[in-house]
Amino acid sequence: MPAISPLLWCSLRVHQVFGANTDVGKTVLSSILCRASSKVWPQEPTAYLKPVSTGPDNEADHRFQKNCVLPSKVGRWKLNTFVASHIGKYTTGVSHKTLFQYDQAVSPHIAAKGKKPPSDEELLGTIYYHASQRVTTGFGWLFIETAGGVHSPGPSGSTQADLYRPLRSPVVLIGDSKLGGISLTVSAYESLRIRGYDIESVLMFQDAEYGNAEYLTEYFDRQHGVTVTAVPQPPPRIPENDEEAMLEYYDQTSHSSPVREVLEHLDDRHRTRVQALESMASEAHEKIWYPFTQQKLLKPDDIVAMDSALGSYLQTLKPKSQAPVNSSEPLLQPSFDGSASWWTQGLGHANLSLTMAAAYAAGRYGHVMFAGAIHEPALTLAKMLLEGLQNPRLSRVFFSDNGSTGMEVAVKMALRAARVRYGWSPDTKVEIVGLSGAYHGDTMGVMDCAEPNIYNEKVEWYEGKGVWLSYPTVQCIKGRWRIRVPDTMDSGSGEDREFRYLHDVFDLESRRARGDHRPYERYILNTLRDEVRKGRKFGALVIEPVVLGAGGMLLVDPLFQQTLTKVVRETPNLFGPDTQPHNRDEKSWTGLPVVFDEVFTGLYRLGRFAASSFLGVYPDISVHAKLLTGGLIPLCTTLASESIFQAFASDDKSDALLHGHSYTAHPIGCQVAVESLKQMLQMEKRGDWEWAIQMGKAQAGGDTGRTQAGSHVWSIWPPDVVEWISQQDGRIGGVWALGSVLAVRMRARDGGGYKSTAAEGVRDRLLQGTGGNDGRRWNVHSRVLGDVLYLMGSHKTTEDEVAEVADLLCKALQH
């Protein structure tokens, strides 16, 4: 999707006229609106735009007058228009233009065949340019008439409703007054609505025979709260006197009070939209309690007002600092969603397939009870996850609502399994083995799975329940991938290791063969033995594989996490005498139940379905959320092995996992997740990320010898950009990129960490964006974690988009 800005100015009321079908009178009714608006607001120019017109310029089109405009180049979009037409006859004083005219009276995608049709981006750019030319400091109207019905294909083949989504113009829907027209009008409305269009008015011809307007008036009022306005039909065509009859018709209809009321309604809604956008931030400042925000330090101007979102972009109100100085400047701009909306986005904003999946499940089920019941989306999702993760241990899927609740479930599962296995009484204090700086969510149970930190230190009931291991991290510094071993890990491994390519860091087999894991092993064993000797009891190993997210976007040496898992599993009696009888097959847990929190790192965020695959070890419990629904709605799954599951089996009801949420396995979430996983699996199979994989290989000169995506580490962020950033060592502490994540650690003069403000400058410069004040201006909305600035794309973010954003980032870093 192009990063085009919606057509929104304070002074120009832009509306799109869609038809419930072809030949329903779009042009006639548009002309009536144009005439009426120039009557009611004589000081405010009215314009009509037909972006694409097909069919000869004849009677049927009510005599458009052609008016040639030479091809020109406007901004970044080439204006390949060759003909533009004007309606002049019936609407004096109204400017009329056609941008692309085709002779054949068929769908534009056919008419345009062999004529190099404009791309959607070109077409939208041309429209944007045209509209912006209509903007004056005074007020005005612009009606844009689409071609055919709502889903008639445009020149590129995209249907009207898909093509024009980025413009976000309010819609006048022309209903169909003919036999069957009720059906077409209702369906057209629905097709627009599920694409986020605001249909402000339904306008149609009266017809006594079928009474469509009568039915639709009641229907739209009851079902959608939208007013239907019926206008008399044009007079029958009289060859000798058509012009006069039409003029009289136009005169009467455009002076009628129903038409005037439509325009007043449109005017009112436009004003309301602009006012709502402009007041949203200050209202929110008063009424919303924001997550993770010190609101005393938050000014209304810091709050981003969002109009909508599409693809990789949020459509945001320009901040006051760059706000329109007068009503003729555009109000909105595209903002690259640089945090992937808190790490959730996978398939782009407002992805139609996900919308359809959600709507289908809503239409088939709504929400239904899950305890003791089953429905298709939940079962299908469970099967897809079990298959996709390729972890032979996992056999069971538990549903909850988000990563935090899913991790609570995981911890409950693991602790019980360990307690039963080791024969500890229910009141034994059982803790977890975790990593320093880990984060697993905000509910109190999983807060206790994190060492004391900024997120929890002031929370009244917080009580860290674990031992927190140190670990080596990986960053690119001055073009080299460096593994930094922390000082606390004083087991003779103190020196840093360097690699030319990130691939080599992930080549665990070779590194193990070289014995790189030995010092890790010693450190882990010594630490755990010491703690157990002190009498502590541990019931789970809980880690975020590969990357610690909220803890500061730390790329952990995968060899360390692999070694940790192996040590925990393979050291007999490390955590206690193994007293209770249990299965000893290879799928059953040993040592401790291993919990992988893949809420952030799994499902392709790092480029692979399972983050555990980077480590070459299989967890006993695996938690998946965020990208699970492609970034649409909350849903979480906690997968577990049969040996965990069996720890809850008993003849006593109260031994069960007595955990559940009302919306457990809600069908909409499950159906959307099924669709998301299907799409992501298809994209991988189809090679949609081949451009990114090839970038990595090209940089490595092909010398890594890894050719399959599955065994490769890759990122959408170009290696040369990562390398360039890593060289800015005056400002940069280090950088890494993997999958769709890029993390840049700034050199902090304030000590770093979550409280640091070191990355805020870069974030603010990204928010400033490309500058300028026209429709081509865009910016980047990003988040910082203390001294770390990160950028995150979706899996649909294109090579071009990444390049543009990376370019802006490099400029911001140089500033």
Footprint (CB under 8 A) of a second copy, residues 249-268: none
Quote the CA–CA distance of 102 and 154 in Å, as a whole number.
Answer: 12
Q: Contact between 294 and a second copy (CB under 8 A)?
A: yes
Q: Contact between 284 and a second copy (CB under 8 A)?
A: yes
Helix axes 719-727, 690-699, angle to 10 degrees: 50
Footprint (CB under 8 A) of a second copy, residues 638-657: 638, 640, 645, 648-657
Of the pair 351, 797, the CB lying nearest a second copy is at: 351
Site string for a second copy, 607-626 (x = CB under 8 A): ------------------xx
Footprint (CB under 8 A) of a second copy, residues 219-238: 223-224
Q: Contact between 419 and a second copy (CB under 8 A)?
A: yes
Classify burial at 658, counting beta carbons within 10 Å of its beta carbon; exposed 0-12, middle 13-18, buried 19 or more.
Answer: exposed
Quote the CA–CA distance of 79 and 743 in Å, as a whole number.
Answer: 39
Q: Contact between 388 and a second copy (CB under 8 A)?
A: no
Element (H, E) at 719: helix 719-727
Sheet with 732-738, edge to edge strand ranges = 497-499, 480-484, 473-477, 732-738, 741-746, 788-792, 783-785
Q: Contact between 586 and a second copy (CB under 8 A)?
A: no
Structure tokens at 263: 């325009």
Residue of 59, 76, 75, 72 lying closest to 99 (CA atoms): 72
CB of 46 to a second copy, least distance (A): 27
> In whole angstroms, how far apart are CA 143 and each of 34, 94, 229?
7, 11, 17
Q: Contact between 798 and a second copy (CB under 8 A)?
A: no
Q: Contact between 16 and a second copy (CB under 8 A)?
A: no
What HEC string does 90-151 produce?
CCCCCEEEEEEEECCCCCHHHHCCCCCCCCHHHHHHHHHHHHHHHCCCCCEEEEEECCCCCC
Footprint (CB under 8 A) of a second copy, residues 536-575: 539
Of the pair 432, 474, the CB lying nearest a second copy is at: 432
Side chain identity, residue 741: V
CB of 458 to a second copy, least distance (A): 6
Q: Contact between 276 and a second copy (CB under 8 A)?
A: yes
Quick check: helix, strand or coil at residue 18? strand
Quick check: helix, strand or coil at residue 50? strand
Determine how β-strand 741-746 pairs with β-strand 732-738: antiparallel
CB of 365 to a second copy, least distance (A): 5
Quote the CA–CA distance of 228 and 214 in Å, as a whole number.
Answer: 9
Of the pair 124, 147, the CB lying nearest a second copy is at: 147
The residues facing 785 across adjacent strands are 788
Of the pair 744, 784, the CB lying nearest a second copy is at: 784
| Among residues 41, 455, 499, 691, the one that binds a second copy under rule CB under 8 A | 455
Quote the CA–CA distance of 168 and 252 in Å, as a whole number.
Answer: 32
Dihedral sign of CA atoms 326, 332, 335, 339 in order: positive
Of the pair 354, 555, the CB lying nearest a second copy is at: 354
Binding segment (CB under 8 A) for a second copy, from list 87-95, 443-451, 525-533, 714-722: 443-451
Determine how β-strand 12-19 pairs with β-strand 171-174: parallel
CB of 293 to a second copy, least distance (A): 6
Binding segment (CB under 8 A) for a second copy, from list 426-434, 560-568, 694-702, 726-734: 426-434
Footprint (CB under 8 A) of a second copy, residues 459-488: 459-461, 465
Footprint (CB under 8 A) of a second copy, residues 310-339: 314, 337, 339
CB of 618 to a second copy, least distance (A): 17
Q: Contact between 815 and a second copy (CB under 8 A)?
A: no
Dmax (CA) of the chain:
106
| Among residues 60, 238, 369, 513, the one that binds a second copy under rule CB under 8 A | 369
Within 8 A by CB and 6+ apart from 90, the residues are 31, 35, 62, 246, 247, 250
| Among residues 120, 200, 329, 408, the one that binds a second copy under rule CB under 8 A | 408
Residue of 608, 610, 606, 663 lying closest to 634 (CA atoms): 663
Footprint (CB under 8 A) of a second copy, residues 484-513: none
Of the pair 53, 185, the CB lying nearest a second copy is at: 185
CB of 49 to a second copy, least distance (A): 20
CB of 100 to a second copy, least distance (A): 19
| Among residues 117, 175, 348, 718, the one that binds a second copy under rule CB under 8 A | 348
> In whole angstroms, how far apart are CA 369 and each of 374, 378, 520, 675, 750?
8, 12, 47, 21, 52
Q: Contact between 442 and a second copy (CB under 8 A)?
A: yes
CB of 510 to a second copy, least distance (A): 36
CB of 615 to a second copy, least distance (A): 24
Q: Contact between 403 and a second copy (CB under 8 A)?
A: yes
Q: Report yes or no: 776 and 804 within 8 Å, Cβ to Cβ.
A: no
Q: Contact between 74 and a second copy (CB under 8 A)?
A: no
Footprint (CB under 8 A) of a second copy, residues 138-177: 148-153, 157, 159-160, 165
| Among residues 44, 61, 121, 190, the one that binds a second copy under rule CB under 8 A | 190
Q: Report yes or no: 461 and 473 within 8 Å, Cβ to Cβ.
A: no
CB of 582 to a second copy, least distance (A): 16
Quote the CA–CA distance of 464 and 195 in Å, as a whole number.
Answer: 46
CB of 468 to a second copy, least distance (A): 17
Element (H, E) at 411: helix 403-422
| Among residues 21, 27, 565, 601, the one that binds a second copy under rule CB under 8 A | 21
Of the pair 657, 709, the CB lying nearest a second copy is at: 657
- Annotate 437-447 with b (16+ C-beta within 10 A) or e (fewer): bbbbbbeebbb
Side chain identity, residue 386: L
Of the pair 298, 698, the CB lying nearest a second copy is at: 298
Other Cβ atoms less than 10 A from the Cβ of 783: the count is 18
What are residue 484's phi and psi, to 5 degrees? -100, 120
Binding segment (CB under 8 A) for a second copy, from list 20-28, 129-137, 574-582, 740-748: 20-28
Question: Which residue in the block uniquely carries the two structure tokens 């990593």?
Answer: 435
Of the pair 525, 657, the CB lying nearest a second copy is at: 657
Footprint (CB under 8 A) of a second copy, residues 659-718: 659-664, 666, 668-669
Structure tokens at 572: 């007999």
Q: Contact between 195 and a second copy (CB under 8 A)?
A: yes
Of the pair 492, 660, the CB lying nearest a second copy is at: 660
| Among residues 68, 236, 658, 701, the one that binds a second copy under rule CB under 8 A | 658
Quick check: helix, strand or coil at residue 315? strand
User: Count of alpha carbons within 13 Å of 15, Cβ hemisphere only?
Assistant: 31
Residue of 337, 433, 785, 385 lying closest to 598 (CA atoms): 385
End-to-end CA distance of the chain: 29
Q: Contact between 386 and a second copy (CB under 8 A)?
A: yes
Quote the CA–CA distance of 50 and 84 in Å, as a whole number.
Answer: 9
Q: Contact between 103 and a second copy (CB under 8 A)?
A: no
Footprint (CB under 8 A) of a second copy, residues 739-768: 754-755
Quote the CA–CA distance of 555 and 545 in Å, as a whole number.
Answer: 9
| Among residues 356, 525, 700, 810, the one that binds a second copy under rule CB under 8 A | 356
Q: Tell me, by CB under 8 A, how many residues bind a second copy.
A: 175
CB of 613 to a second copy, least distance (A): 21
Binding segment (CB under 8 A) for a second copy, from list 451-459, 518-526, 590-598, 732-740: 451-459
Of the pair 238, 374, the CB lying nearest a second copy is at: 374
Q: What angle (nearest 5°) sits at the alpha carbon of residue 27, between those of residues 5 and 52?
A: 50
